[in-house]
Amino acid sequence: MSAGHVLRVARPTDDLATVAAMYQDGLGFMVLAQFTDHEGFDGVILGRPQHPYHLEFTQQRGHRVGPAPTQDHLLVFYVPDGAEWEERCVRMEVAGFRRVPSYNPYWDVRGRTFEDVDGYRVVLQNAPWSA
């Protein structure tokens, strides 16, 4: 992969409107695109225009996908500034995410784990990313 490429993480949901609102409000993402009845699928793509990653949520009409397969399916966002991290953690709960203990205790040392209505989890890590 090279500079200029974009990563999109896509996953299904049984409640597209709720999930999209949670991630939009909790993480401060914008709706970049939406589609309705694209061969039986509805979807929304969230992100920020200048960021090289997007989240795509889809819902297939007449099909149930159920909850997340494990508690260790994570999206991890590194937020190094303490004040911003605290504010983002509050926004996650206000948006409807439930704060939960991490399945892997590593993420509880400098982060907080939040679960959406489908059981998928987001970690806000209060640290800069480093290899």
Q: Is the pLDDT of residue 1 over 80?
A: no
What pLDDT is attached to residue 76? 97
What percentage of the chain carries pLDDT values higher than 90? 94
What pLDDT is attached to residue 131? 79
Q: What is the mean pLDDT of residues 84-102?
A: 98
- Identity of the amino acid at 105: P
Q: Is 128:82 a contact under the CB 8 Å cutoff?
A: no
Question: What is the pTM for the complete model shown?
Answer: 0.93
pLDDT in tens, 41-61: 999 999 999 999 999 999 999
The residues, any chain, with a CB within 8 Å of residue 82's CB and separated by 6 or more, are 126
Domains within the chain, CATH numbers bracketed? 7-60 (3.10.180.10), 74-125 (3.10.180.10)
